Chains A and B, each alone.
Chain A
Amino acid sequence: EAQVTQNPRYLITVTGKKLTVTCSQNMNHEYMSWYRQDPGLGLRQIYYSMNVEVTDKGDVPEGYKVSRKEKRNFPLILESPSPNQTSLYFCASSLWGGSYEQYFGPGTRLTVT
């Protein structure tokens, strides 16, 4: 089954404790992206990647890191999480960029206390 998986689905952590949210797709897609969703603000793009070792900032990259060492994986790293990063996070992939159908992961609800 074609899918995008994220782990963990729920995470409660404390300020400053480094964490990684994993994202994996099994569709051989070139494009992968991370979004955060906040009430009243909608979805906002954090980072995206067009290919292995190629990443670009979205609209809200501050406080986040990403890496794309393999085509199927695109982890999101919060090196020093803060309460304002409490949010619902989605990973997505597509064949090649924003002009193709987007496939979303199930979401990760992160709470930083």
Chain B
Amino acid sequence: KNEVEQSPQNLTAQEGEFITINCSYSVGISALHWLQQHPGGGIVSLFMLSSGKKKHGRLIATINIQEKHSSLHITASHPRDSAVYICAVGQGGSEKLVFGKGTKLTVNP
């Protein structure tokens, strides 16, 4: 079993829909990261969480430490949101990062 599991693997939505991507982890963590990778490969950091909730524009990230679960929400989705979204955890006690396999999101106009 992978230490970081994401669901779904693939997601297709219509423009305007509310989107949720889930991340579950099985290790103790120091922080959880949500990353975005557009076609063409570049990776950017969207959020870093150790508790609670963060919001940036149409994106919202939440984390439940007790349940070892995080969600990334996109409100009013747009075709430019089409990308791979990657969850990564910083392992408590070390500085290693462990990644989920990513969720490929396609938003159709």
Q: Is the interface of B mostly helix, strand, loop or mixed?
A: strand
A88 to B31, CA, bound (A): 25
Contact yes or no, A97 B90, CB < 8 A: yes
Q: Mark B70-106, 1 if CB is under 8 A from A, else 0.
A: 0000000000000000101111001111111110000
A-B contact count (CB 8 A): 72
Query: B44 interface residue, CB < 8 Å from A?
Result: yes
Contact yes or no, A59 B101, CB < 8 A: no
Contact yes or no, B50 A99, CB < 8 A: yes
A103 touching B45 in the complex, CB below 8 Å, given contacts A48-B95, A97-B95: yes
Contact yes or no, A42 B90, CB < 8 A: no
CB neighbours (8 Å) of A90 from chain B are 43
Query: A33 interface residue, CB < 8 Å from B?
Result: yes
Query: B19 interface residue, CB < 8 Å from A?
Result: no
24 pairs from A and B in contact (CB 8 Å cutoff)? A42-B102, A43-B86, A43-B88, A43-B99, A45-B96, A45-B98, A48-B95, A56-B94, A59-B98, A97-B30, A97-B95, A98-B89, A98-B94, A99-B31, A99-B90, A100-B48, A102-B33, A102-B45, A102-B88, A102-B97, A104-B42, A104-B44, A106-B41, A107-B42
A31 touching B43 in the complex, CB below 8 Å, given contacts A43-B88, A97-B90, A99-B31: no
A41 to B96, CA, bound (A): 17
List chain A positions with a Cβ less than 8 A from chain B. Answer: 31, 33, 35, 40-45, 48, 50, 56, 58-59, 88, 90, 92, 97-104, 106-107, 109
